[in-house]
Amino acid sequence: MPKYIANIIFTFVISLLFLLPTSYMVVRSFAPTLIGYKKPIKPPVLNFKHIYNGQGVKGKIKGVYLDATYNIKVLYEWYIRKIGFKKELLKMYQFIKEDILNTNPFPNKVFKGRDGWLFLGDDFEDALSISLGIKRFNKKQIKNITRTITSHYNWCNQRGIKYYFMLVPGKHDIYSEYLPFDKPDQPTTYDMLSEALALTQIPFVDSREALISGKSKQLYYKEDTHWNGHGAWIAYLQLMDSIGQDFPFISGLSHREVFFDSVFNGSGDLAKFLNRRSPFPKISAYPVVSNAKIMKKQLKVPAGYNTSSPNNYEYRFRNRKGELKVLVFRDSYFTALQTLIPETFGSNVLIWDPKMDTNIIIKEQPDIVIQEVAERMIKKFYLINRALN
């Protein structure tokens, strides 16, 4: 064998012998295991068959290239599926995955945090990267989405309708201490949008600080992406504070008029991703005395409506003891408020779609429009909503 070929092979083998143990010792110290797979993740099996079977000098060189390419690929696939990282490795890890390998750094549906907490990964709307600020809007996008929300406010205001924009923080944000790594100190889209909206006249309902202040009582589910009844109650109070500035006679429910009920039904969207039932109870907020009655649906479900249950598109409630009519464009986070809002207003129409539909507003003639969007849905909100004239 020519000497330079032997040197290539020797260098390659020595590099592997050095890098593999070193990598193992480094990643062993950082143990947040990503788990979006049903079976335990086995260590990668490295392949050297092309080197072994290569014929002649060209064959050996080609074998080194093919085996090195393959082994690097499987090592990194195993790394993201099995190994976690801390703050000091996060940017390096992101750079390798995105800029060098051109792959998603957080591909899993769900990953395991500390103390049994599960978190949504990037499989759904890049939820993890967005919550960490790794993926965020640029200044132009923030300006555009702020302009869109402002146009919604102006459109309603011109027609005598009060408009409120409600932004819901994700579990990654409120309970970041249970993430398997330290959250980077960098702005997120949520931060940037909140700052932009604070400079406008838009009634902006931001419950993040209130949720953080009250987080000693568990406000989000361990094995679900959503807040529980306690978290929804805090958000409800924040919403009613904002609405009360325009409608002082709408007081909303008091603490004495609400109770919390726990049911063990195995629910939990993150648990379902792992093909199992959650052992934790579902906690819901209910009025002590309910005056709201569910009414017959009146709207046609739009063609191509993308949800697992089209029946959820519209909910109507009537409360003879309430006043005003409220129309809500919402996502799944508003479900936990669905037991509270109808007890507050006389007529309630809840549309499971964060897109503001002016045709529905014209048809329903509400006094109040609430547009709610979860942190992880900001990108979708940006894409489906448009500025109004």
Q: How confident is the model at residue 125 (pLDDT cuts 50, 70, 90)?
A: confident
Give me the pLDDT at residue 372, please.
Answer: 98
Buried b (16+ CB within 10 A) or exposed e, 33-69: ebbbeeeeeeebeeebebbeebeeeeebbebbebbbe
What is the token pair recorded at 200?
């406008």
Distance (Å, whole) CA 203 – CA 200 = 8
Lowest mean pLDDT among 51-60, 85-94, 132-141, 241-250: 85-94
Give me the pLDDT at residue 227, please.
Answer: 98
Mean pLDDT of all residues in 286-302 = 96
Distance (Å, whole) CA 298 – CA 173 = 37
* Higher per-residue pLDDT: 273 or 88: 273
Please, are residues 293 and 318 in contact by the beta-carbon 8 Å criterion? yes
Q: What is the pLDDT of residues 232-250, one digit of tens each?
A: 999 999 999 999 999 999 9
Q: What is the pLDDT of residues 184-204, one digit of tens each?
A: 889 999 999 999 999 999 999
pLDDT of 362 > 60? The answer is yes
Lowest mean pLDDT among 17-31, 64-78, 319-333: 17-31
Give me the pLDDT at residue 90, please.
Answer: 60
pLDDT of 254 > 50? The answer is yes
* Higher per-residue pLDDT: 146 or 113: 146
Query: Nearest to residue 156, comparing CAs of 207, 206, 203, 205?
Result: 203
Please, are residues 339 and 287 in contact by the beta-carbon 8 Å criterion? yes
* Higher per-residue pLDDT: 54 or 381: 381
Please, are residues 187 and 135 in contact by the beta-carbon 8 Å criterion? no
| Averaged pLDDT score across all residues of the chain | 85
Phi, then psi, of 314 in degrees rounded to 5: -130, 135
Q: How far is CA 134 from CA 7, 12, 105, in A?
A: 41, 34, 10
Q: How confident is the model at residue 97 (pLDDT cuts 50, 70, 90)?
A: low
Give me the pLDDT at residue 167, please.
Answer: 97
Q: How confident is the model at residue 308 (pLDDT cuts 50, 70, 90)?
A: low
Lowest mean pLDDT among 64-78, 111-125, 153-167, 246-260: 64-78
Mean pLDDT of all residues in 122-133 = 87
* Pairing, β 292-295 against β 258-263: unpaired
Give me the pLDDT at residue 193, please.
Answer: 97
Q: What is the pLDDT of residues 12-33, one digit of tens each?
A: 655 555 455 445 444 443 434 3
